A = this chain, B = another copy of it.
Amino acid sequence: MGPILLASSKRAKGCRVWRVALIGCPSKYNSAQTPTDPRRGRTGAIPVTDRRLASLSQRVFNFSPGPAVLPLEVLEQAQEEMLALPGVGISVLEISHRSPAFDRILEETLHSLKALVGVGDDHELVLLQGGASLQFSMVPMNLLRGFAGAADYILTGTWGELGAKEARREGTVHSAWDGANVNYDRLPSDDEIRLSPKPAYAHITSNETIQGVQWKREPSVGDAPLVCDCSSDFLSRPIDISKYGLIYACAQKNAGIAGVTAVIIRKDLLGRSRDDLPTMLDYRTHVKNGSRPNTPPVFAVYILGLVCRWVRETMGGLAAMQRHNVAKARLLYDAIDASNGFFSGHAQPECRSDMNITFRLTSESLDAEFVKGATGRGLVDLKGHRSVGGIRASIYNAMPVEGVEALRNYMLEFQRSHS
């Protein structure tokens, strides 16, 4: 997968960091020659300088729940073009959002994302600012205000709860299922979901990052438009867009950097927005102006485009991406299940997330020791969310399998030395 394999570690600035070995690397890392890498469609590759090797050797495995690890190829292209976009003479950080150069970037990004996700003629795709948190409000402002009926929320974790809280400011909210009493360790069956008579929409969170539960199928919600906060598994697997009324996803998990959020909305639902909405909070503004009613977050859009290309060209598309992600998650879940209770998973096995693997050891002090030891090995940001505790390993698209293997090996070793 990734070019980096763990090889040795050394102590630097007070903490141990792993050096990368150049085993399995594209040839560009192994010589000073600069061959063309046809996958990346650019001329020339990256010369090996001491500085570059020093940067690479510093890199650790980053299990952050988001912002999260990015493909090395994306970082390198951004680095390479930082002073001047080829043929433009201006950095992507400096180009006008009305320039032909950004016209191309925006068009390619939208096109690439639509093709990857399978957005057809029934839906619109727009890119916004403000993160998923602003969508918690924009969804009900556009779809619930003035609607004769409630918005139904199926609550499977912390993020769904926050979404419902904002929706209550805009209208009536009905809790169609709430996993709070099972500590959000599972999803409901279809039988357990109690919809309101004529819902404005039914809302789910496809993957709860804090609890580590993930919908692998859509719940049955009848005629209600299904609205999904897809922030933490967007681009990690294929989805059937035709089943959704609206999908929103911030980019900083699988799709890019913080600062841009994708919204996919079924065209007929645009008719719900009222004319008294603030212009920038009305989905129609962004649809009508092709995601450019004002200055969009240019660099975040550019990175999203590079990530889309990486998913498609390097990883082989969303189905291949999913196989890859499932395999990575299995490495860790297998270690948990084979540990005889030394590690215990938070989520019920049938609801487990492929993105965020949540588990705990037999005591809080052992949790802390585990995290500390991991950090020393260059396996960083493994501490669980303060509301749940324990350990959380976020292994989004760009986490190389080598990183997951290193964590799995550390788990086995830690268990051996503490049993």
Please tell me if A66 contacts chain B, counting CB pairs below 8 Å: yes
Q: Do A56 and B75 touch (CB < 8 A)?
A: no
* CA A233 to CA B294, docked complex, whole Å: 18
Instruction: Report B-chain residues with C-beta under 8 Å of the C-beta of A66.
Output: 96, 295
* CA A233 to CA B280, docked complex, whole Å: 23
* CA A278 to CA B130, docked complex, whole Å: 12
Please tell me if A303 contacts chain B, counting CB pairs below 8 Å: yes
Please tell me if A166 contacts chain B, counting CB pairs below 8 Å: yes
Please tell me if A223 contacts chain B, counting CB pairs below 8 Å: no
* Given A97-B67, A99-B381: A58 touches B89 (CB 8 Å cut-off): yes
Of A79-87, A181-189, A237-245, A361-369, the one with at least 4 CB within 8 A of chain B: A79-87
Q: Which of B17, B75, B141 contacts A83 (CB 8 A)?
A: B75
* Given A297-B297, A299-B300, A378-B89: A97 touches B258 (CB 8 Å cut-off): yes
Q: Which of B51, B52, B56, B132 contacts A44 (CB 8 A)?
A: B51
* Interface residues as binary, A218-261 with B (CB distance below 8 Å gives 1, 0 otherwise): 00000000000000000000000000000000101000011110
Q: Which of B80, B133, B170, B295 contacts A293 (CB 8 A)?
A: B133
Q: Do B83 and A70 touch (CB < 8 A)?
A: no
Interface of A is mostly: loop
* Interface residues as binary, A65-97 with B (CB distance below 8 Å gives 1, 0 otherwise): 111111010011011101110111111011111
Give A87's nearest chain B residue, CB to CB: B13
Instruction: Report B-chain residues with C-beta under 8 Å of the C-beta of A134.
Output: 129-130, 280
A interface residues, how many (CB within 8 angstroms): 80
Please tell me if A341 contacts chain B, counting CB pairs below 8 Å: no
Give A44's nearest chain B residue, CB to CB: B51
* Given A66-B96, A79-B79, A130-B129: A60 touches B90 (CB 8 Å cut-off): yes
Copies of this chain, count: 2
* Min CB–CB distance A162 → chain B (angstroms): 9
Q: Do B82 and A78 touch (CB < 8 A)?
A: yes
* CA A300 to CA B296, docked complex, whole Å: 12
Q: Do B83 and A79 touch (CB < 8 A)?
A: yes
* Given A67-B96, A94-B62, A299-B259: A281 touches B82 (CB 8 Å cut-off): no
Q: Do A93 and B303 touch (CB < 8 A)?
A: yes
Q: Which of B136, B259, B276, B294 contacts A133 (CB 8 A)?
A: B294
* CA A170 to CA B276, docked complex, whole Å: 9
Q: Do A83 and B96 touch (CB < 8 A)?
A: no
Instruction: Report B-chain residues with C-beta under 8 Å of the C-beta of A79.
Output: 79, 82-83
Give A128's nearest chain B residue, CB to CB: B130
Please tell me if A31 contacts chain B, counting CB pairs below 8 Å: no
Q: Pick 21 A–B contacts, CB within 8 A, sort by A.
A: A17-B89, A55-B83, A55-B84, A58-B89, A70-B93, A75-B83, A75-B91, A75-B94, A76-B83, A79-B83, A130-B134, A133-B280, A133-B294, A169-B277, A250-B295, A252-B295, A258-B297, A258-B298, A259-B297, A281-B281, A299-B300
Interface positions of A (Cβ within 8 A of B): 12-13, 17, 44, 47, 49-52, 55-56, 58-60, 62, 64-70, 72, 75-76, 78-80, 82-84, 86-91, 93-97, 99, 129-134, 136-137, 141, 165-166, 169-170, 250, 252, 257-260, 276-281, 293-300, 303, 378, 380-381
